């Protein structure tokens, strides 16, 4: 019943509700636009530290030297010279890449240093590198505003670091058959992180704003109804007046009493005359009495006519 009354009240104020809907949609649009800025995509891939003569299929070769190198390379990937090559491979500005290396045994992590040329860089992209101490592999995780950028950063982390490492080996004149090879285990895979989250949140904002607006409209309607009822109660008399307190009623009552007394006197005169003289003059006195009664009734009607008008 209360829900039906609330809906009826809202329908009576449908223009206010429509205006509230417009306000709610505007707030939801602003919320959606703001949340769009916080959307991001992620991508991941994996690289393995190997050699030209891969020991992976050779049971007689230990993988420990490659596992140790993978741990060193994971820390080296977040250095600024390596990020320069990674940014070039991903076609991204390296100064906007914030890289974090694997966790150290003491719980700390290696973070890419800030280059001297940009004291406060704006980091639009994030690169996370992790390494399993028991495997010669490095896990790469990239984060960027779009899926294409995240995938490009993850792939570029492997190819760019391989370019950086080959440059060092060339400078040291290391023979080709003794060099370390970096291989990527499949192309990076990525996507937006809950791409519909901003729309869902914006829809919730619209519903909440509209509900608050409708509650405000119902509150105003209830106050207006209460004010109208109080004004009506003040204008209506508290009690119905007693007819006996009306002076006009008293005047009429006295007139009716006088008329009744006159009728009794006439009856008494008529009866006395009938008893003294017999029925000889009965008809004459009866006629006189009827005339006087008619006269009294006429005077009473004329006295009550002005009051009724």
pLDDT in tens, the chain (309 residues): 577 777 777 777 788 888 888 888 888 888 777 766 667 889 999 999 988 888 777 777 788 889 999 999 999 999 999 999 999 999 999 999 999 988 776 556 666 665 555 444 557 899 999 998 889 999 999 999 889 999 999 999 999 999 999 998 888 888 888 888 899 998 999 887 766 666 778 888 888 888 888 888 888 878 887 777 776 666 655 555 555 555 555 555 555 555 555 555 555 555 554 555 444 454 555 566 666 656 655 655 555 454 444
State residue 13's pLDDT score: 78
State residue 109's pLDDT score: 62
Q: Using an 8 Å Cβ cutoff, are 157 and 116 in contact?
A: no
State residue 84's pLDDT score: 93
Rounded distance between C-alpha atoms, residue 97 and residue 92, angstroms: 8
- 3-state DSSP of 47-72: EEEECCCCCCCCCCCCCHHHHHHHHH
H or E segment at 129? strand 125-131
State residue 203's pLDDT score: 84
Q: Using an 8 Å Cβ cutoff, are 47 and 76 in contact?
A: no
Phi, psi (degrees; rounded to nearest 5) at 265: -65, -40
Domains of the chain, by residue range, sit at 2-36+198-231, 41-193, 244-304
Sign of CA dihedral 50, 55, 61, 62: positive
Tokens of 93: 């500005």
Q: Using an 8 Å Cβ cutoff, are 24 and 210 in contact?
A: yes
SS3 label, residue 111? strand
């Amino acid at each position: 019943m209360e829900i039906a009354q609330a809906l009826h009240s809202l329908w009576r104020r449908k223009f206010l509700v429509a205006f509230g809907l417009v306000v709610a949609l505007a707030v939801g649009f602003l919320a959606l636009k703001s949340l769009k800025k916080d959307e991001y995509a992620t991508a991941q891939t994996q690289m393995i530290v190997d050699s030209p003569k891969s020991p992976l299929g050779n049971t007689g070769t230990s993988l420990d030297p490659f596992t140790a190198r993978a741990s060193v390379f994971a820390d080296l990937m977040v250095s600024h010279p390596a990020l320069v090559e990674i940014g070039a491979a991903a076609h991204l500005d390296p100064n906007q890449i914030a890289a974090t290396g694997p966790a150290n045994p003491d719980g700390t992590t290696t973070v890419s240093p800030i280059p001297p040329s940009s004291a406060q860089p704006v980091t639009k992209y994030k690169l996370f590198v992790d390494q399993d101490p028991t495997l010669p592999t490095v896990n790469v995780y990239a984060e960027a505003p779009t899926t294409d950028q995240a995938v490009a950063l993850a792939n570029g982390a492997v190819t760019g670091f391989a370019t950086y490492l080959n440059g060092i080996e060339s400078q040291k004149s290391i023979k080709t058959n003794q060099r370390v090879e970096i291989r990527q285990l499949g192309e990076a895979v990525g996507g937006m992180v809950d791409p519909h989250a901003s729309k869902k949140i914006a829809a919730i904002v619209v519903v909440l704003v509209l509900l608050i607006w409708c509650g405000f409209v119902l509150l105003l309607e209830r106050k207006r109804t209460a004010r109208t009822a109080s004004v009506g109660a003040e204008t209506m008399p508290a009690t119905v007046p007693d007819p006996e307190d009306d002076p006009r009623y008293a005047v009429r009552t006295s007139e009716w009493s006088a008329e009744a007394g006159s009728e009794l006197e006439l009856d008494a005169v008529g009866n006395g005359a009938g008893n003294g003289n017999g029925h000889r003059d009965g008809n004459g006195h009866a006629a006189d009495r009827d005339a006087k009664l008619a006269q009294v009734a006429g005077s009473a009607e004329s006295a009550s006519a002005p009051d009724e008008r």
